[in-house]
Amino acid sequence: MENDFTSWLAENFSPANDKTILGIGDDAALLASPSEPNPPTTSSLLPREQQLTVVSTDLLSDKVDFLVKDISPVAIGYKAASVSLSDIAAMGALPLSMTVAIALEKKNSSPPFNSNRKTDQGSNGTPIQDLNFAKEIYTGIKESLRPFGVDLVGGDTNYHYGPLTICTTAIGTVSSKNVWRRSGAQKGDLLVVTGRLGGSLLGHHLNFRPRVAEATRIAQTTNIHAAIDISDGLAIDTSRLATASHLGAVLDLSKIPVSDSAVLLSRQISTMSVVDPQKGKGAIEHALYDGEDFELLLALSPDSAEDLFTKLANEIPLTTIGYFTDRPGLWEGRLDEQNCSKKELAPLPIDGFLHSL
Amino acid sequence: MENDFTSWLAENFSPANDKTILGIGDDAALLASPSEPNPPTTSSLLPREQQLTVVSTDLLSDKVDFLVKDISPVAIGYKAASVSLSDIAAMGALPLSMTVAIALEKKNSSPPFNSNRKTDQGSNGTPIQDLNFAKEIYTGIKESLRPFGVDLVGGDTNYHYGPLTICTTAIGTVSSKNVWRRSGAQKGDLLVVTGRLGGSLLGHHLNFRPRVAEATRIAQTTNIHAAIDISDGLAIDTSRLATASHLGAVLDLSKIPVSDSAVLLSRQISTMSVVDPQKGKGAIEHALYDGEDFELLLALSPDSAEDLFTKLANEIPLTTIGYFTDRPGLWEGRLDEQNCSKKELAPLPIDGFLHSL
């Protein structure tokens, strides 16, 4: 669904000015520096190295991305900021700045408008969430940004007649020579993932640490062909990486690093008596489809992968979980049969936690 | 109210990295270019001229900033984008790029989550607004951006259980030597406004053209000490400009250019029989307090003002409406008594359409 709507957007908003290096369709946009005297073309082949500006926007709402009734405003702010930092990391970029817009919830206590006011006066309604609540959200945002030296540079705090809504825009920088896009994976490239996957709803989706430091280390160490962060789930995000690169992808389910939470969740649910669509889901399904892992998924050559593991396996949790193929689609297969002429591939359903249209 | 909360934010989020030239508290943030080898300090005195990145975020919601039931999604998108372009213009900057995050409305048709899902699956609920509605919003955004060559570089489209919410982030560029801030007005500076004020709710708040071209022309022509765009109302925005510059401001009510809509509105309401808080409001009150004029309010020396009027009065509607004084506060007085020793000043109530906390 995201792909259809995103395609419509990309078709209808082709770049009009020469500062737009990469517009709609990736984890973040890439903009040429305004001070560049000779802006590059919009082609993927940039004429020479320069620092690009990276921008990504996310919107999170109560009852969709978190539950105000169950978690603290500090945790909500932390998640909102971290989600956008993760998008910047997925470009191999360094985040520097963030703007935040928040709509706190109020309810109608008097008519919000009348025939003489087409819009609210901005002062009607009864706040459900007060200023201290807003300050706690910003405290959570600060906790997310501080370890990475990222500045909150703009904050727009409002009330509206609806659920708490937070929009974060992260801005960062990356060299044009090192930037990671979703496109760029090559046939035979390996799929490497950071961390462990699945079961994020048990807590990880709120308290994860975005892979900003890891992205920087990896970008400094080896050549990455393509990357994405796992927000909607390993299956769908692998599929996006493959599609953007005009390839297919094979996942070796036996290699996927499954989180303890995914295992716990699969046991909890299988002992429950209520009818539930997730009943009986195994740990591996949680790892494939839960989403909100916010781990990095990387495409790189086997040589680069060997280099990466040699240099960084001690400091960053890295696992090879699959490879790219010229057969379009998402497949289940074995890594050790990658180069066999008669490898067996089974289609893998593409599903996930769809955050966007 | 905005000032208190904004002050809290500014105190708690002092810049941590040297790319932040200006953080929270103005119409937009100012960031040093990532490619600058010697980033300037965060002092307001920049060491040398460079192109800065300008960023501003706004959030608009149904029933607060527009009414979905009364106006088209194209008009909503146009307004959302134009509000952010106006913020960039208020810095004397040129907008280049925009990201948009939209939360469309859906309602609960099934429980949005259960004990096994702490968050919504992203696919529950029944849409109130469909994909065509979203496309029309983006069409309105395009209509706002196209005349200025601004690119939509990111779009995040979601559903949530609440009113249509749109978050726009505009990114632009300005020379560090020409950037306009809210601070910088000097005692004796004149207050000059573009266009006519008041009554925006009769239509202007939806179809205004942000003063992007005018800001560029003015910045090229003369030296502006400080600027703001009138979003919350002439009175409160004048007060913000004065406060940021550690000064007071005097408005000459006889000089304020009142829009036809403000006059019409004052007549319409005075003949209405219903009890209404706005009943009896005169046209000048609409000009002072309605807000959403999205005109530029400029502080400049009398010499610069003369220069500006000589060069641009034929192409841009410009009116001198007051001056800055070292007596803190917002005052009503006469422009032609500015230099009298015994000028009479009466306090002017500070009120407006408060968009933010």
State the amino acid at position B155 in one-letter form. Answer: G
| Residue bearing tokens 């390839």 | A247
- Which residues in chain A are contacts of B49 at CB distance < 8 A? none
Q: What is the C-alpha to C-alpha distance for residues A11 and A14, in angstroms, rounded to an integer?
A: 6
Q: Which of residues 295-334 of B touch A (CB under 8 A)?
A: none
Helix (H, G, I), strand (E, B) or coil at B331: strand
Fill in the DSSP letter of residue B95: E
- CB A260, CB A221: distance < 8 Å: no
* Residue B356, pLDDT above cutoff 80: no
Among A29, A137, A155, residue whose Cα is nearest residue B29: A155
CA B286 to chain centre: 17
- Say if B20 is an interface residue toward chain A (CB within 8 Å): yes
- The residue of A12, A26, A152, A201 whose CB has the most chain B CBs within 10 angstroms, and thus the best one to mutate to test that interface, is A152
Question: Would you state the pLDDT for residue B114?
Answer: 41
In this predicted structure, the answer to whether residue B272 has a pLDDT above a threshold of 80 is no
Strand segments, DSSP code E, in chain A are 20-22, 29-32, 51-61, 94-107, 126-127, 151-160, 165-175, 190-194, 226-229, 248-251, 296-300, 318-325, 329-332, 346-347
Instruction: Answer whether A62's CB lies under 8 Å from A165's CB.
Output: yes
Closest CA to A250 of A305, A321, A163: A321
- List chain B residues with CB under 8 Å of A53: 34, 53, 171
Q: What angle do CA B106, B111, B114 make, to 5 degrees?
A: 130
Nearest alpha-carbon partner for A178 in A127, A128, A216: A216
How far apart, in whole angstroms, are the C-alpha atoms of residue B24 and residue B344? 36
Contact A357 B157 (CB under 8 A): yes
Beta-carbon separation of B67 and A103 below 8 A: no
Structure tokens at B275: 């009890």
Residue B50, number of CB atoms within 10 A of its CB:
19
Distances (CA, A) of B218 to A95, B142, B211, B300: 34, 25, 10, 11
Q: Which chain A residue has the Cα nearest residue B53? A: A34
Count of other CB atoms within 10 angstroms of residue A126: 11
* Minimal C-alpha gap between B340 and chain A (Å): 39
Q: Which residues of B touch A138 (CB under 8 A)?
A: 9, 12-13
**What is the rounded distance in angstroms from the CA atom of residue A130 to the CA atom of residue A138?**
13
Q: Which two tokens stand for residue B293?
A: 């004029």
Q: Which of these, A205, A161, A264, A208, lies nearest to A66 by C-alpha position?
A: A205
Contact flag B57-A268 (C-beta cutoff 8 Å): no
- pLDDT value for A270: 54
pLDDT of residue B273: 42
Classify B132 as helix, strand or coil: helix
Kindly tell me if the per-residue pLDDT of B269 is higher than 80.
no
- A-B CB pairs within 8 A amount to 330
Query: What's the sign of the alpha-carbon dihedral B41, B46, B47, B52?
Result: positive
Give the whole-angstrom CA distance, residue A302 versus residue A307: 9
Say whether residue B6 is in contact with chain A using an 8 A CB cutoff: yes
Q: Which residues in chain B touch residue A356, judged by CB atoms under 8 angstroms apart?
A: 156-158
CB spacing of A138 vs B112 below 8 angstroms: no
Facing residue for B29 by CB, picked from A12, A99, A272: A99
Quick check: A100 contacting B, CB < 8 Å? yes
Does residue A10 sit at the B interface (CB-CB below 8 Å)? no
In this structure, which long-range contacts are made by residues B305-311, counting pairs with CB atoms below 8 Å and at least 24 apart in sequence? B305/B190, B305/B192, B305/B222, B307/B221, B307/B222, B308/B192, B308/B218, B308/B221, B308/B222, B311/B221, B311/B222
Chain A residues touching B103 at Cβ < 8 A: 59, 61, 165
Instruction: Name the β-bridge partners of B346.
Output: B332
Beta-sheet strand order (sheet of A346-347): A226-229, A296-300, A190-194, A318-325, A248-251, A329-332, A346-347
What does the block give as tokens for A282?
Answer: 């195994």
Among the partner residues B153, B160, B356, nearest to A158 by beta-carbon distance: B356
Q: Does B336 touch chain A (CB under 8 A)?
A: no
Helix (H, G, I), strand (E, B) or coil at A277: coil
User: Which structure tokens are listed for B337?
Assistant: 């008594």
Question: For chain B, how many residues are written?
Answer: 357
Partners of B205 on chain A (C-beta within 8 Å) are 118-119
Q: What is the mean pLDDT of residues B205-222?
A: 97
Say yes or no for a CB contact (<8 Å) between B169 and A55. Answer: yes
Q: Which of A244, A256, A255, A233 is nearest to A186 (CA)?
A: A244
- With 70 as the cut, is the pLDDT of residue B111 above it? no
At B343, the pLDDT band (50, 70, 90 cuts) reads: confident
Helix boundaries (H) for A208-298 = 212-221, 234-244, 260-270, 283-289
| E strand intervals along chain B | 20-22, 29-32, 51-61, 94-107, 126-127, 151-160, 165-175, 190-194, 226-229, 248-251, 296-300, 318-325, 329-332, 346-347
Contact call for residues A21 and A157 (beta carbons, < 8 A): no
Residues 118-177 of A with CB under 8 A from B: 118-123, 131, 134-135, 138-139, 142, 146, 149-163, 165, 167, 169, 171, 173
| pLDDT for residue B117 | 45
Interface test with B, best of A137, A158, A178 (most B CBs within 10 A): A158
Give the pLDDT confidence of A229-242 residue by residue, as tens digits.
Answer: 999 999 999 999 99
Rounded to a whole number of angstroms, the distance from the CA of A127 to the nearest CA of chain B is 12
Pairing of strands B126-127, B94-107: antiparallel
Residue A204: enclosing H or E segment and its boundaries? helix A204-207
- For the residues B338-357, what does the mean pLDDT come to? 82
Residue B189 has pLDDT above 90, yes or no: yes
**pLDDT of B298-324, one tens digit each?**
999 999 999 999 999 999 999 999 999
pLDDT score for B123 = 63
**Does B101 lie at the interface with A, CB-CB under 8 angstroms?**
yes
Residue B227 three-state SS: strand
Q: Kindly state the tokens that stand for B124.
A: 């529950």
Q: Which of B99, B168, B179 to mutate to test the interface with A (most CBs of A within 10 A)?
A: B99
What's the pLDDT score for residue A341? 84
Instruction: Specify the pLDDT at position B83.
Output: 97
Axis crossing angle, helix A2-12 with helix B131-145, rounded to the nearest 10: 30
**Chain A contact for B342, CB < 8 A?**
no
Q: Does A264 touch chain B (CB under 8 A)?
A: no
Q: pLDDT averaged over chain B?
A: 89
Residue A154 with chain B: CB contacts under 8 Å: 23-24, 28-29, 55-57
B277 pLDDT higher than 60: no
Contact B116 A36 (CB under 8 A): no
Nearest residue in chain A measured CA to CA from B354 = A122
ipTM confidence: 0.90
Please tell me which of the candidates B5, B29, B117 has its beta carbon nearest to residue A153. Answer: B29
To the nearest whole Å, the CA of A24 is away from the closest chain B CA by 5
Q: What is the number of helices (H) and of strands (E) in chain A?
A: 9, 14
**pTM of the shown model:** 0.91
Question: Measured between beta carbons, which residues in chain B are less than 8 angstroms from residue A25?
Answer: none
pLDDT tens by residue, chain A, 357 residues: 356 888 899 889 989 899 999 999 888 999 998 765 544 455 555 567 899 999 999 999 999 999 999 999 999 999 999 999 999 999 999 999 999 999 999 987 654 444 344 445 456 788 889 999 999 999 999 999 999 999 999 988 999 999 999 999 999 999 999 999 999 999 999 999 999 999 999 999 999 999 999 999 999 999 999 999 999 999 999 999 999 999 999 999 999 999 999 999 998 855 544 444 455 679 999 999 999 999 999 999 999 999 999 999 999 999 999 999 999 999 999 999 999 888 889 999 987 666 776
Q: Please report which confidence band the pLDDT of residue B271 belongs to, taking 50, 70 and 90 as the band edges.
A: low
Give the tokens for residue A69.
């009734």
Predicted confidence band at B34 (pLDDT cuts at 50, 70, 90)? confident
Tokens of B85: 């372009």
* C-alpha–C-alpha distance, residues B68 and B76, integer Å: 8
Question: Strand A151-160 relative to strand A248-251: parallel, antiparallel, unpaired?
Answer: unpaired
**For the residues of A124-162, what is the DSSP string, one character each?**
-SEESS-HHHHHHHHHHHHHHHGGGTPEEEEEEEEEESS
Interchain contact B64–A (C-beta under 8 A): yes
Taking CA–CA distances from A176, the nearest residue in chain B reads B35
Q: Which of B114, B124, B119, B115 is nearest to A201 (CA)?
A: B119
CA-based torsion, B240, B245, B249, B251: positive or negative: negative
Q: Does B267 touch chain A (CB under 8 A)?
A: no
List the single residue in A61, A67, A169 with the smallest CB-CB distance to B160.
A61
DSSP B233: -
pLDDT value, residue A310: 97
Nearest alpha carbon to residue A204 among A213, A195, A191, A215? A195
Contact state of B97 with A357 under an 8 Å Cβ cutoff: no
* Both tokens assigned to A189: 């490239």
